[in-house]
């Protein structure tokens, strides 16, 4: 999946506003609120990272997940549909010549069924 690479002006403004809000709170808040920041710091930091479209450790996590799922899902051979397994029969005789010479050959399925 592609992830957005451009930092939009809107997002920049959002982060600046959030920073200002934190600054205002830090300067003017009562000690209790400041105390609360110590508790809320982990989710705020995580939120900050995610709002900047960073997913810390995502690649490592997906690599491990892929490794774990591999033996379970990827190596199990899915049953091939019956129609795909059947070897397509080649046209024969005059149809082979007609097919080779034709500018636009007949549909493959029709060719096989009439062979």
Q: How far is the CB of 10 from another protein (least distance, A)?
A: 13
| The binder of another protein chosen from 4, 79, 81, 107 (CB under 8 A) | 4
- Give DSSP secondary structure letters for the chain: -----S--HHHHHHHHHHHHHHHHHHHHS-HHHHHHHHHHHHHHHHHHHHHTT--TTHHHHHHHHHHHHIIIIISSPPPPPHHHHSPPPPP-HHHHHHHHH-SSPPPHHHHHHH-
From 54-62, 77-85, 88-96, 100-108, span contacting another protein (CB under 8 A): 54-62
| The binder of another protein chosen from 38, 76, 77, 101 (CB under 8 A) | 38
Site for another protein in 75-114 (CB under 8 A): none
Q: Are 115 and 95 in contact (CB under 8 A)?
A: yes
| The binder of another protein chosen from 28, 31, 75, 83 (CB under 8 A) | 31
Query: Of the two residues 35 and 92, which places its CB atom closer to another protein in the complex?
Result: 35
Binding site for another protein (CB under 8 A): 1-7, 12, 15-16, 18-19, 22-23, 26, 30-48, 50, 52-55, 57-59, 61-62, 64-66, 68-70, 72-74
């Amino acid at each position: 999946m592609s992830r957005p690479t451009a930092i939009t002006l809107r997002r920049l403004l959002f982060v600046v506003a959030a920073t200002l809000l934190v600054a205002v709170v830090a300067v003017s808040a009562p000690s209790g609120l400041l105390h609360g920041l110590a508790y809320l710091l982990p989710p705020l930091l995580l939120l900050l990272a995610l709002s900047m479209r960073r997913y810390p450790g995502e690649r490592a996590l997906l690599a491990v997940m892929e490794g774990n799922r591999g033996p379970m899902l990827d190596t199990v051979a899915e049953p091939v549909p019956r129609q795909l397994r059947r070897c397509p029969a080649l046209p024969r005789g005059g149809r082979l010549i007609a097919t080779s010479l034709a500018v636009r050959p007949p549909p493959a399925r029709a060719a096989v069924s009439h062979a």
